Amino acid sequence: MTKASPKNIPDSETEHDIADVVDAADKRKGIQSVEVSGVIIAALCDFKFPVPLKDLADAVSMPAAKVHRYLASLVRIGLAWQDDQTGLYGLGPMALRMGVSAIERNDVVMRAGRLLRNLAIDLRSSGHLAIWGERGPVLIRTEHGGPPIISTMGLGTVMPLLRSATGQAFLASMPRSAIEHVISAEQEILHWDDATVDRLIVDTKQRGAAVIEGDIVPGLSAISAPVYNLDGAVACCVTLMNPNANYFQPGQAAFDVFTRAIADFTQSWGGTPRAEPDQA
């Protein structure tokens, strides 16, 4: 039998499949089109906002026509998304679903999600779980144990670092070197000096939780604290919000219930904060 030649097969994808069979001993062999798609998706992750095709093509060093063909397939399966009016591209709903699913499979984050639900019900509050992203705290889960609080904070929202309870919990528990770029960007907007930021960190640590009143949503009381991995790094932060003024202030029953629950969870999980986070 004459061996088929790749040049007789019009589908380039099939050519790679045949090469994989022929070169089965090479365990690193893969499907090139999948790898190219991964490069494009990674670039979409790097852009902060929906991006024009030309800019995306420049970012991955590929011809725009080639990137467009890949994007057509990525849009169809939900990994990418195109705005009907502007034509700009971004990550699609399947990409968000994959990210959230991967996060939920982290055992400590999954357990922290159950803690959030129980606290929201016990304290008749709304709340969310956040992890650290490239640009700050990112919301990955929400719960409502009382009347839902109307806000624009949905899954994927990046919270302010200096003005939100969630952000302040990360600020006080993460190495300064790891989040300095976010701190500096917000300092410039708020016109805060280093002394103001340092004082905020000290106050949050001494209190044992970040507490704010109406900084993001007027009249809203919020509290947040970190949950740690076994290596001492912050896994996520648990945040609750309540429409009653001063609801989570130190000395209030809700403050004690929240901080005690976080401490008990940390002890049961075995996570311990690093002694010197700024030197981590």
Report pLDDT digits (tens) over 134-161.
889 999 998 988 766 666 577 788 899 9
Residues 258 and 150 in one domain: yes
Domain assignment of residue 99, yes or no: no
Residues 87 and 142 in one domain: no
Q: Which domain holds residue 34?
A: 6-92
> Mean pLDDT, to the nearest integer, of 27-51?
83
Closest Cα to residue 225, out of 150, 128, 146, 92?
128
pLDDT at residue 27, rounded to an integer:
45
Which band of pLDDT confidence, cut at 50, 70 and 90, is reported for residue 15?
very low
Please classify residue 238 by burial: count the beta carbons closer than 10 Å to its beta carbon, then call 0-12 exposed, 13-18 middle and 19+ buried: buried
Helices (H) and strands (E) in the chain, counts: 10, 7
Which secondary-structure segment (H or E) carries 223? Answer: strand 221-228
Q: Is 90 exceeded by the pLDDT of residue 57?
A: yes
Cα 140 from Cα 19, distance rounded (Å): 41
Report pLDDT digits (tens) over 59-109.
999 999 999 999 999 999 999 999 999 999 999 888 888 877 766 665 788
175: DSSP letter: -
Which secondary-structure segment (H or E) carries 166? Answer: helix 165-173
Q: Is 70 exceeded by the pLDDT of residue 218?
A: no
Cα-trace Rg, the chain:
23
Residues 121 and 236 in one domain: yes
Residues 19 and 83 in one domain: yes
Query: What are the phi and psi torsion angles at 187 (to 5°)?
Result: -60, -40
Higher-confidence residue of 216 and 180: namely 180
Q: Where are the alpha helices (DSSP H) in 47-128?
A: 53-60, 64-76, 93-104, 107-122
Residues 177 and 241 in one domain: yes
Cα 106 from Cα 127, distance rounded (Å): 20
pLDDT at residue 103, rounded to an integer:
61
Residues 134 and 82 in one domain: no
Q: CATH number, domain at 23?
A: 1.10.10.10
Residues 75 and 150 in one domain: no
Q: Is 90 exceeded by the pLDDT of residue 46?
A: no
Which of 36, 64, 92 is a domain's end point?
Answer: 92
Q: Is 90 exceeded by the pLDDT of residue 257?
A: yes
Mean of per-residue pLDDT scores for the chain: 83
CA 84 to chain centre: 26
Q: pTM of the predicted model, to two decimals?
A: 0.63
70 to 46, 77, 78, 89: CA distances (angstroms): 18, 11, 12, 12
Whether residue 159 contacts residue 136, with contact meaning beta carbons closer than 8 Å, is answered with yes
CA 108 to chain centre: 15
Residues 136 and 270 in one domain: yes
Higher-confidence residue of 29 and 115: namely 115
Cα 136 from Cα 150, distance rounded (Å): 22
Residues 86 and 125 in one domain: no
pLDDT at residue 111, rounded to an integer:
87
Domain count, the chain: 2
pLDDT at residue 106, rounded to an integer:
58
Q: What percent of the chain has pLDDT over 70?
A: 80
Q: How many CB atoms lie within 10 A of CB 185?
A: 14
Which of 92, 119, 138 is a domain's end point?
Answer: 92
Q: CATH number, domain at 165?
A: 3.30.450.40
Residues 237 and 110 in one domain: yes
Which of 58, 92, 126 is a domain's end point?
Answer: 92
b (16+ CB within 10 A) / e for 25-35: eeeeeeeeeee
pLDDT at residue 20, rounded to an integer:
45
